[in-house]
Amino acid sequence: MHVSVKRLQTVNNKVKEVANKTQLKTTPQIIAVSKTFQLSQITPLLDSGHLHFGENKVQEADHKWKDVKKKYKNIQLHMLGKLQTNKAKIAVKIFDYIHSLDNAKLASKIAQFEKELNKKVKLFIQVNIGEEIQKSGIVIKDLQNFYDYCTKELSLNIIGLMCIPPADLDPINYFTMLKKNSEILNLKDLSMGMSNDFEQAVICGTTYLRLGSIIFGPRSI
């Protein structure tokens, strides 16, 4: 068995263990964050039946996955990184999920290209949960208005909220805050939890985990 498959199994078992302890009704989906890794390193997971993969750059994802998605029909590809509006059309074409919807201009472009391509993408609003200057995302006070704009004016398929909590701080408070706001908006999905804080995210009710190094190992770039 390939090392990445073993690692994924180990993480899956840990996620189920935490979910059982906290009496969660469902366990979250694991997105294997494959950015910077070659297909030779990803194929063992594909062959093992894993379906959810994440990328941070549109061009890398298009080059890497365009042909692969024709072979593995059920792959679900997630855009996790900052999405520029000039890359929105390619993103809508190749991705099934976009986790980084963070401004009105991007929302408008996604809506435009969904119509052009006759495709609906599942979207997460990225929330700047710690109101950090260096991070993208909608601040909490603007979240309701932005959600209403996306859903009522643009008819976007907003399925949940995403956040990256401040580094070096206990993420529990931030995950709890995101969960509370998802409930206010009646959204069932949450994209939170990475390799260093996934257990806390599971406890707080995330439905999608974004896990890279814990599955693939350290990145060389």
Domains of the chain: 3-216 (3.20.20.10)
C-alpha span between 221 and 219 (Å, rounded): 5
- Residue-averaged pLDDT of the chain: 94
Check residue 221 and give its pLDDT.
Answer: 56
pLDDT in tens, 102-146: 999 999 999 999 999 999 999 999 999 988 898 999 999 999 999
Using the 8-state DSSP alphabet, how is residue 75 labeled? -
**Overall size of the chain counted in residues:** 221
Give 60-67's long-range contacts (Cβ < 8 A, gap of 24+). 60/35, 60/36, 61/94, 61/95, 62/90, 62/94, 64/34, 64/39, 65/94, 66/94
Using 50, 70 and 90 to split pLDDT, how confident is the model at 91? very high
Q: How many CA atoms lie within 13 Å of 207's alpha carbon, on the beta-carbon side?
A: 15
Pairing relationship of beta strands 189-191 and 97-101 according to DSSP bridges: unpaired
pLDDT in tens, 4-22: 999 999 999 999 999 888 8
pLDDT in tens, 141-150: 999 999 999 9
What is this structure's pTM?
0.95
pLDDT in tens, 25-79: 788 999 999 988 888 889 999 999 999 999 999 999 999 998 998 888 899 999 9
